[in-house]
Structure formats: structure tokens, C-alpha cells
Amino acid sequence: MSTPLAITGLGIIAAPGRGLDINRAALGSASRHLACYADPRLPLAAELPVGRVTSVLPTPTPRTAALAHCAISDALTDAALTDRSACALLLGTCTGGMPESEAAYLAQPEQVHAAFAQQEAHRVTARLAQQLGCHGPRSTHSVACASAACALAEAAEWIRQGLCPSAVVVGADALCRLTMAGFHSLKVVDPAGCRPLTEERSGMTLGEGAAALVIEHPEHARARGARIRASLLGWGLRSDAYHATAPDPDGSQLQQAIAAALTDAELSAQDVAYACAHGTGTRDNDHCETAALAASFGTLPCASSKGSYGHCMGAAAAVEAVGSCLAIEAGTAWASAGASEGTPLTCVDVVTTPRPLAGDVICSTSLAFGGVNAALLFGGAERCA
């Protein structure tokens, strides 16, 4: 029998701000935090809105690492986890130290700069583990938009198999030129700001941020008297190998990932009360994702938070995991930011105003470049009893 794992700490920093209260308020109001701004390091941000973090960050740490440090610190404090000698640390990221290496290259294109050595994603993981005293096993996932989902799945297996009693999982990504220019060149960026799960959607909006979850074996959490906020019930991963950047239109592999997560959690589709969709706002993603959700669950209440946060890339699944836990705690199905301004898709029940959550199980889905499909199931704290 699969063991529901205790989620004892949460931390988040993103476009709405830093901390659970400000992000809970943003999710509860479905407020939009996407805007253009002038920054010579990100020329496209002057004409394309982004979800930008304006909170004060630690310096001189690279920006992705600084975002992750904020989220992890808050999550560890929330969990009151002081003994981290065996705590694992897992990171999901796409950009790593790229913002700093870009700046160094543009300033001196003929030089080999020290920042280049810090670009690799695993350098961020090592830095964070050292700074925060997490001396258990470490792992780094860079699997495009499913990076944090894969990190959460691996953490679950490490804890279940007894490799560590606890783990802190963080997804973190900072905005950089490469990702902005890359998505702009694919012509999948909405110049008005993304409108996920609507007929009028015409592209995505990039964002940045970090979110972290402290996950423990329930026996470990109870032994130290920890408060359990929510539970991680199951996970599923599938790869469709359909295209380097486009999702498989029929969504069959995402359906299989959802089915695998349900099997892992020993739940049925009827147990799921709400879907926290990847919901990027592109024509292809939202079409295939809602088709997969409808095939898996019927007209399940569904929403995307990317109209508030932007697409935080490697951090997206962690941002949505924290949002799912907050929804379960509040007993509320968050509304899909921006959906009330358009025509919601009809194959799923797009939530346009917050409503009571009819149950305590949420399915969070991710679709990534390279054909990666992920599904995570979160439940209430009492499932760890």
C-alpha cells in the first residue's frame, strides 16, 4: 500500500510577492500580476508582460539560487525542521545560473567568466544544500516545465524507500534572455498577457519565482510533533515522444500519467475534487490538457494560476503544488486567473469565481517540452493519520 506523505512546510516567492499570506490572497482573488517593465538585461520585457519578482532577494547569490533560498528558508521555518542532517534537497530548474552568465557574456563576449561555472543547474542545488544545512541526498531535475514535478516524484520515492526521513523540494527559475527570446521566436507569447483555459487564449506569459515543500514520512513528522498541512498521495510520469516542443494533441500520455498517479495513491477518478491545470494559455497546451482532464475525470472543476504568476518554467509545478495545498487548507477551489474576462473552455468546468472544494484531493498536471507529462495528487492532512 502506498504511504501518503506528510507536507509540513510551504514557502513561495513569485510575482504576487513573498510568503503564504500574500500568495493565498492572490489565488483567492485570481488577481493578475503580469506587467511590462524596462530592464536592459531583458529587452523583450519592455513590450511583453511577465510575472516578475520585485521582493528583496539575498545578494550576491545568483538570482535563481536567491529565489530558491527564500522559498526553502520559509518552508523550513514553516515546518519547524531544525535537524536537517538527513534532510534531502531536490531542485527543479531550467535556467540555473543563466541570468548571470548571459550578463557576463554580453559584457565581455571574448572572455571566459567565472559566472559560466555557476550556470549549471546542479551548482544551484549544491549551493543551497550547503547554505541551508540539508545534508541528506541531493538531486537536480531540469526537465523543462515538469522539472519540479519530477523532483517531487523522486522525493516521494526516496522517503517511501527509507533513503531519507524528510526532503525539501524546491522549484526555482529566474527570467533570462534565452527563455524570453526562445518563446517569442516560437510565436507562443500573448502580448496582452496569458488567458489560460479560454477560447480567446493566444499564448503564454513567462514568469519567475520559487516554491518549496517540506515532505516527510508521516511517522517522522509525528515523532517530532510537526504540524501536517497537507499530504502528497501519488504521482505519475509519462513521455509521449511526439515532438520536441509541441504536446501530443490527443493527450493520451497525460491521461496515462494521471492514471498512474491514481494507481499510486490507490484512489479512483471520482475521489478527485479539482484539477490544478498546467494551463499555459497556448492553443496546443490547453487543447490537449483539457481533453486529457475531461477523458480522465469528466467535467471536473479546473483552473490555471498562470494568469496570476506567469509561467515560472522549472518552478511551475512547485508553485502549483503550494497553491494546491493552500486550496485544500482553505477548502476552496481557486478561480482561473483571467478566465472571467473571456469565454471558458467547455470540455472541463473552468472555475471563474472561487467556490467550495467538494473534497480534499487535487490533481496537479504538468506538460513539458520533450513530451514530458506529469500528474501529482495532493490530499488533506488527515490522510496521513
Residues catalogued as catalytic: 145, 278, 311
77: helix, strand or coil: helix
Q: Cell digits for 170?
A: 524546491
* Residue 182 CB-half CA count within 13 A: 12
Helix 283-297 and helix 252-265, axial crossing angle in degrees, nearest 10: 40
The beta strands (E) that lie in the chain are given as 5-14, 17-18, 88-92, 138-141, 166-173, 209-216, 230-239, 274-276, 301-303, 332-333, 349-350, 355-356, 362-368, 372-380
Q: Are 352 and 336 in contact (CB under 8 A)?
A: yes
Q: Are 81 and 9 in contact (CB under 8 A)?
A: yes
Q: How far is 151 from 123, CA to CA, in rounded Å?
A: 16
Pairing of β 88-92 and β 166-173: parallel
Q: How far is 212 from 317, CA to CA, in rounded Å?
A: 10
DSSP structure class, residue 197: T
